[in-house]
Amino acid sequence: MVIDSSVVLEIEAKNATSSATRHQDPLPRLELNRKHRLTKDLTQKWKISPRQNRTPFFFHVSNETGQQCPANSIDQGFQFQRLPIEIQFEVFKMCDQPTLFQLMRTCSSIRPEASRLFWSNKDVWYECSFLWLEYEGAKTGPALHCPDFAKNVQQVEIKVDGKTHPCPGLFEQDDSPIHEDDDDILCFHRRLLATTEQIRFFWSSFKRVFPSCRRVIFDQRSQACCLDSYIEVISERPPTIDCLVSTWPCRVSASNRRRAKKVLWTFKPCDPTWYALSGSWENNLVVMPPKLFRGIMGNFQHQLYLDDRIWNERAALRMLRLRRHEWFYHRERGPQLETSEKWGIECPNPDCDLFFECIGQWTQHACETSHDLDYSQKPLRYLDISGFPGDWEATLRLISEDLLKVEVLIRRQDIKNYLLHLGHAANEAITFQAMQQQFDTDPIYAHETSARTSLLAQDWASSWLKSPEEVIEKHSDWLDKDFLHSISERWSRLVSPEKGV
């Protein structure tokens, strides 16, 4: 069964914006018409095997090809519901996630079983940022995901560290790196910070947000030496939740002959011992759909959601380009070199003299250090792509061009939001009063703290309480100069004494 992509897009749009904003936002219409974009099917065709697939929910439940089955190929007289219930259940078990998602919105006799299989899929893990959970408890105001959707999620991955999804209230990182097992792999010790009371508060808040959750993974960039930090956290977990820990090295150097791989661990209190469940763990991570963005805070959070979506797609495109070039060099160009010639990829950064001989090492090194962004000193040998199939490079270029069009629209929307809030910036008291009213009356924007002390309001102030000069500098590469100049004129009228502002 194939899903009409326009139907799925409309479902996401209902959660993304109010009906008034949805008709004004050009991004969904552009996304629907994008012919060149990153998909899981595309990366598989290019023999890319990422450590982790991170997929927005919209694409997770969408058909990759978008092709419909011919109407004459379907037996219109066949009545599925007349089959014995046992056979129906066996058919449901063979359905993929997009098909089950479609069946969940059919008749009442099919919906329960399709819904049960969809949510209980053990190959799908949902990602969520937990910074807000520690400061706001179970109040989901700062979160971007839909709270009603989260109530059905059964598997969640918690990012313990990292720049985008930190969980700093439970752990802290020791700044002194160590080397694991005499390999040239860097990792960091991690110490438990929270008290028993704080850990119990964390789990009680977690259960209120994810009442159906059955399994949790704590994901960290470290090695097995840090596992004992999780013992108390796992011991205080609710009895209905199984806890796992995934570890992987922070950085791989050229002297290490093996690739860094994620390992999944489980703890058995009866021993007590840690057991590795898999030697190489690659999970399918899904980003939950957004909540309904409305009001002054919803307008701002919608912009945060779009920015995050573009940033992740650009990062994925860069990863895809690196891995594709590296794979081509090792599999196609490498065997053609002279046997006496040193075979591998030399880092182009002038301050880095590493040389990578194993496939996968250069890509990871580049993503962790951004050394692929400097070709001025030493050209990368793998960029000699004579014989490189032209359609691969052309496809990457088309994907990048389509993504640029979407990014320009997002920047235009950002500047429009700034224009709408110029008056609020001139009178902060009115703005924070409106925020507090939304915090008090709108359940999906509820906060534990007041408007002025909330993390969301602080982000809003740092983004939109700016001078026109700062905004012009930020968007100078994206928007028309005359349009940006009009911001200064409007700001001058707002703050002039004659206007009484």
State the DSSP code for 499. G
Phi, psi of 96 (to 5 degrees): -85, 180
Q: Nearest CA to 300 among 12, 11, 17?
A: 17
Position 243 pLDDT exceeds 70: yes
Higher per-residue pLDDT: 215 or 465: 215
Q: Is the pLDDT of residue 30 over 90?
A: no
Contact between 37 and 58 under an 8 Å Cβ cutoff? The reply is: no
Mean pLDDT of the chain: 70
The pLDDT assigned to 321 comes to 78
Is the per-residue pLDDT at 99 higher than 80? yes
Closest Cα partner for 220 from 259, 199, 194, 246? 246
Q: How far is CA 186 from CA 111, 347, 389, in A?
A: 49, 18, 36
pLDDT score at 191:
58
Biggest CA-to-CA distance, the chain: 80
Q: What is the DSSP string of 278-303?
A: ESS---EEEEPPB--B-HHHHHHHHH
Q: Give CA–CA dist 180/448, Å, rounded.
A: 41
Considering only CA atoms, which of 262, 310, 289 is closest in space to residue 52?
262
Q: What pLDDT was estimated at residue 169?
A: 55
pLDDT of residue 456: 75
Q: Is the pLDDT of residue 333 over 70?
A: no
With cut-offs at 50, 70 and 90, classify the pLDDT of residue 426.
low
How high is the pLDDT of residue 126?
A: 93
Instruction: Please identify which residue in the block is written with the tokens 């797609």.
Output: 313
User: Considering the chain, what percentage of its residues have pLDDT values greater than 90?
Assistant: 7
Q: How far apart are CA 142 and CA 444, in angstroms?
A: 9
What is the C-alpha to C-alpha distance for residues 291 and 273, in angstroms, rounded to an integer? 40
Distance of CA 278 to the CA centre of its chain: 24
Fill in the DSSP letter of residue 226.
G
Q: Pick the range with the lowest mean pLDDT from 122-136, 199-213, 255-269, 276-290.
A: 255-269
Q: Which range is least confidently modeled, 228-237, 252-261, 441-450?
A: 252-261
Q: Which of 148-157, 213-222, 464-473, 477-486 has the highest mean pLDDT?
A: 148-157
pLDDT in tens, 50-96: 456 678 888 788 775 444 444 444 455 567 767 777 787 888 888 88
- What phi and psi values does residue 289 have, to the nearest 5 degrees? -65, 155
In b/e form, how buried is each residue of 447-466, taking b as 16+ CB within 10 angstroms? bbbebeebebbeebeebbee
Q: How far is CA 164 from CA 159, 167, 251, in A?
A: 9, 10, 18
Q: What would the mean pLDDT of 286-313 be, rounded to a whole number?
A: 84
Average pLDDT over residues 307-335: 76
Give the model's confidence band at 419: pLDDT under 50 very low, under 70 low, under 90 confident, else very high.
low
- Pick from 373, 444, 464: which is nearest to 148 by CA? 444
What global pTM score does this model have? 0.74
Which of 138-152, 250-264, 412-426 bottoms out in mean pLDDT, i.e. has the lowest?
250-264
Bridge partners (DSSP) listed for residue 128: 158
The ranges assigned to domains in the chain are 124-282, 316-389, 393-499
485 sits in the region (left: phi over 0; alpha: psi -120 to 50; else beta) called alpha
214 pLDDT higher than 90: yes
Of 5-9, 222-226, 362-366, which range is least confident?
Answer: 5-9
Which residues is 186 bridged to in the sheet? 179, 251
Q: Which of 142-151, 298-307, 479-488 has the highest mean pLDDT?
A: 142-151
Give how far Cα 493 sits from Cα of 5, 101, 287, 482, 487, Å. Answer: 46, 52, 43, 17, 10
Examine the pLDDT at 153 and tell me if it is beyond 90: yes
Q: 67-81, 203-217, 442-456: lowest mean pLDDT where?
A: 67-81
- Reduce the DSSP state of residue 186 to 3 states and report it: strand
